[in-house]
Structure 1
Amino acid sequence: MKKLFFFLVVLATVSCSTSKKIVSTPVKEDVTPVKVVATAVKDASGNLIGIATKESFLQEPYNEWFNPNYEYYSLNEDVIDKLKPLLKEVTIKAFMGTWCGDSQEQTPAFYKILDNTDFNYSNLELVTVDRSKTTPDNLQESFNIIRVPTFIFYKEGKEIGRFVEYPRESVEEDILKIVSGEPYKHSYED
């Protein structure tokens, strides 16, 4: 049993992802919008752990990857226009790692999309996790977070879909499929 546990810990710390199969089994239903206050703190490695806001990533050293990736991301304005009314009906629970290259790329794009759709940020809670995809307060517990970033979308308290690690088309097109009710499978679903 100890060997199995050790193997799982090593596997989880190797990178943002190592396997291509995920089973999405959301079990947490309480996603009531609240005013989000950043509580994330730097761990011994300098990574943010806890609840973060966009402002958290505008500070050094995170702004070194956040700002250029935010500016570089090119939006599809037609998709943004379609997203605006649909995002008013959703809440989002997001998980990312400041140590993870995929999170460093997709999280700024995610914020740029939300900024351009006039998203109500009280409907977003973003949790920064360590390399084991955990937090000291177990904020990830019951959300089945295997890869980061993971953006989970809820409507009326029920999960309607999740974006995992990287887009199939583009970040905003994948989000549009999720919130519009179109068939969508994240990057690790067959």
Structure 2
Amino acid sequence: MGCNTQAQKKAVKNSVGDLVGITHRSDFKQAPYNSWFDANYIAYTVDQKSISVLKDAFKDVQVKVFMGTWCGDSRRETPRFYKLLDAINFDEKNLEMITVNRSKKTPKNLEKNLNIIRVPTFIFYKKDPKTNEKKEIGRYVEYARESLEKDILKILSGKAYKHSYQN
């Protein structure tokens, strides 16, 4: 079962033009979002040395992303993340993309109890083999410490990792 267990409600454009709610890649392919999405997707070069290792590391991983279409960091990192997912043939049914307003909220409180302070926040989950419950294994927040690929690989491989706002 994928991350998309909540009712699939399409994100809506709020009064200032920001998408808010559960979003899909196709939303970013529409104007005005495609101007930054397409440019940043095309401009990013995935670290090819990391691809085979990441492909294995992403096995049985689910990802929940909180981003803002108004946020410069989200506009940079989200297309890069999609390009990385494409490079490893990640099944997007295991991805839940949630766009937030400038207060980092959604109408359905999808951010509730997840401590979303900065965006983008990519939360990685795996099922606990003992309890079979989905468990957070780490998060990538706003920008890389080393690189997108290397930071995510540390999270997925269980190595010590602190996102950009942890000491």
TM-score normalised by structure 1 residue count: 0.81
The answer as to 2:55 corresponding to 1:111 is no
The counterpart of 1:178, out of the listed 139, 155, 158, is 155
Change (3 A) 1:130 1:34: closer
Q: Which residue pairs with 1:44 in the alignment? A: 15
Does the residue aligned with 1:95 lie in a helix, a strand or coil?
strand
Q: Which residue pairs with 2:131 in the alignment? A: none
Q: Supply the AA of the counterpart residue of 2:15.
A: A
Does the residue aligned with 1:186 lie in a helix, a strand or coil?
coil
The RMSD of aligned alpha carbons is 1.5
Size of the alignment, in residue pairs?
A: 160
CA distance in 2, matches of 1:76, 1:32: 26
The counterpart of 2:95, out of the listed 118, 124, 128, is 124
1:38–1:53 Cα contact (<8 Å) kept: no
Structure 2 unmatched ranges of 5 or more: 128-133
Structure 1 unmatched ranges of 5 or more: 1-30
Does the residue aligned with 1:59 lie in a helix, a strand or coil?
coil
Q: Supply the AA of the counterpart residue of 2:76.
A: E
CA distance in 2, matches of 1:59, 1:108: 14
**Identity across matched positions, percent:** 55
CA distance in 1, matches of 2:60, 2:31: 33
Give the strand-richer structure, 1 or 2.
2
Shift of 1:148: 0.1
Q: Which residue pairs with 2:130 in the alignment? A: none
Shift of 1:169: 1.0
TM-score normalised by structure 2 residue count: 0.92
CA distance in 1, matches of 2:52, 2:90: 12
Structure 1, residues 51-86: CA drift from partner, whole Å, max 9, x if none? 011111010000000001001011111111110011
Runs of 4+ in 1 over 6 A off after TM superposition: none
Q: Which residue pairs with 1:165 in the alignment? A: 142
Higher relative contact order (CA closer than 8 Å, sequence separation 6+): 1
Q: Which residue pairs with 1:28 in the alignment? A: none
Q: Which residue pairs with 2:121 in the alignment? A: 150
Give the structure with higher Rg (CA).
1
